[in-house]
Structures are given as structure tokens and as C-alpha cells.
Amino acid sequence: MVQYKTEAIVLRLRKYREADALVTLLTKERGKITAVAKGIYKPSSSLRGGVQPYSINEMMLDAGRSTLHSLLQSQCLEMLLPLRQSYDALTLGAYWAELLENFGQEEMPEHELYYLAKAGFLGLAVNAGKLMSRALEVRLIQQQGLSPDFRLCCRCGQPVTKDKVCFFSGSEGGFLCGSCAKELQELTRISPAALSLWQVLENLALDKLTRLTVTEEQLGDLAKVLRQWIVRHTGRPMKTWSMINKV
Ligand SMILES: [Zn+2]
């Protein structure tokens, strides 16, 4: 028995055996882990209130001898009710959880990632929308040390073209100069304002986002390139993209 206490965010909950659940957690002390919540679907279970998806909890776990931990106790610290009261917010919450699950490393404590995850869910609870979602993507990529080069072409090292249009290719590895863009069949054209927005979002606190004035075009362009960047680094499209296309 190796018991430990940690703050943890529930990223995903799925049924397991008769009345148990498997819970994917992002914990402050041990990074991403999977735990069994025994008997959680029994009416008498005291665990149920502390494993709601996207809630922030104080948990007691047992690391045991396998990779599967056991959830012993959970006390909800923040239920994030506003996130559950709107379909759009809940969908963006599900997307944020999916991103965290894909970028987080098993059993790798990353306090910064934990704080970003928590700030993200708290942010979505008060201001769920496209801009918050783009900001979270940008911050997660930045926190993981995966930001692209905004100045130099990823192919030849010349300055990136930013006059009237910017060229981007997720498969090539980022932004491009005009000469390289001419040689490529598959590339995405976005406005220079969308590239600037990516850089602005790296430095602006999440609770200051409402101060920004952004256009639908900027947000749409940024979404296109961020999705390519996410696929480049996770190896696959996110499942929740089909749900959030309207959000
Ligand atoms: Zn180039």
C-alpha cells in the first residue's frame, strides 16, 4: 500500500466491470494517472460526488503495485457548475480534457501543466467560447515547449512571409517564407493578424482575454493552424472536434 493525497482534476470517467469506474486524472503530485473507483455506481458509494468529469478534487489514492491506482477518498473542491449548465461550455470542457489527456505524460508530475489545466477549466466556467479555447490550445502548446518559430521559415530559415498572407504547413513544421510556399502543394494561408493573435495569446493572462478585440476570421484562421499543430504533436485528430465545430 502506497497511499498518497493529491489535488486532482477528473479528465475522463468510464464504466469498468460491474459497478466500478476507471477514472483518468490529472494530479498535481503525480501527473496523469488512471485509477479504479470501486463500487462507484452503487447507490451507497461515497465516492460518486468526487469524480464528476472536469471537477477539481482533493483525493486519497493508493498507488499499489500496478499502473492502475485505486481511488480511496475524494472530496470535491470545485464542481465548476457553470461549465455543466451550458452545452457549449461542457463541450469545450470535454475538448480541454481531451487535449490534456493527450499531452500529459503518465506518472510524470508537471506542476505547471496542472496549474494550466486548472486555470483552463476555471476560465471555461466563466468565459467559454472560441477565444478561450484558442488561448488554451496556445498555452498548452507553449507549456509543452512546442511553439513554432514565428519569425523564420521552418524549411529554409529565411524570414516568414507576413505581408498580406502567412503560409503554414503542419506537416512541414510551421510557418513558411514565400519561396518555400510556392514549392508546396498542401499549405494553409492565414492572415498575418491570426499569426499575431497566436503570439498575443502566449502572453496574455486567461482572465484578461475579454480585453481583446478579435475577428471571426482571425479565430477561424488560428483554429485551422492550431489543429494541424495538435495533430503533428499527438499523431491524430481530437475526437471532440466533431462536437465543437459550432462552438
Ligand atoms: Zn523558406
The enclosing H or E element of 194 equals helix 192-203
Which residue in 97, 134, 74, 123 sits closest to 13, CA to CA?
97
In the reported structure, the alpha carbon of residue 154 is separated from the centroid of ligand 1 by a whole-number distance in angstroms of 7
In the reported structure, the alpha carbon of residue 159 is separated from the centroid of ligand 1 by a whole-number distance in angstroms of 8
For residue 52, pLDDT over 80 is answered with: yes
Please report the pLDDT score of residue 47 as a whole number: 87
Rounded CA separation 137/131 (Å): 10
In the reported structure, the alpha carbon of residue 181 is separated from the centroid of ligand 1 by a whole-number distance in angstroms of 7
Please report the pLDDT score of residue 9 as a whole number: 98
For residue 22, pLDDT over 80 is answered with: yes
Q: Grid coordinates standing for 166? A: 502567412
Taking phi over 0 as left and psi of -120 to 50 as alpha, with beta for the rest, 68 belongs to beta
In the reported structure, the alpha carbon of residue 152 is separated from the centroid of ligand 1 by a whole-number distance in angstroms of 8
Please report the pLDDT score of residue 107 as a whole number: 85
pTM of the model: 0.95
State what percent of residues in the chain have pLDDT above 70: 99
For residue 104, pLDDT over 70 is answered with: yes
Domain 1-79 falls under CATH 2.40.50.140:
yes
Give the confidence band of 134 by pLDDT, cuts at 50, 70, 90: very high
Q: Which of 53-62, 65-74, 145-154 has the lowest mean pLDDT?
A: 65-74
What's at 110, amino acid-wise?
E
In the reported structure, the alpha carbon of residue 230 is separated from the centroid of ligand 1 by a whole-number distance in angstroms of 22
> Can you give the residue ranges of every domain in the chain?
1-79, 82-247
In the reported structure, the alpha carbon of residue 194 is separated from the centroid of ligand 1 by a whole-number distance in angstroms of 20
Give the confidence band of 108 by pLDDT, cuts at 50, 70, 90: confident
Please report the pLDDT score of residue 246 as a whole number: 61
Rounded CA separation 222/195 (Å): 7
The hierarchical CATH code for the domain 82-247 is: 1.20.1440.120
Q: Grid coordinates standing for 79? A: 464542481
What's at 57, amino acid-wise?
N
In the reported structure, the alpha carbon of residue 174 is separated from the centroid of ligand 1 by a whole-number distance in angstroms of 10
CB 157 within 8 A of CB 131: no
In the reported structure, the alpha carbon of residue 192 is separated from the centroid of ligand 1 by a whole-number distance in angstroms of 17
Segment 225-236, tens digit of pLDDT: 999 999 999 999
In the reported structure, the alpha carbon of residue 144 is separated from the centroid of ligand 1 by a whole-number distance in angstroms of 25
Tell me the three state secondary structure of residue 105. coil
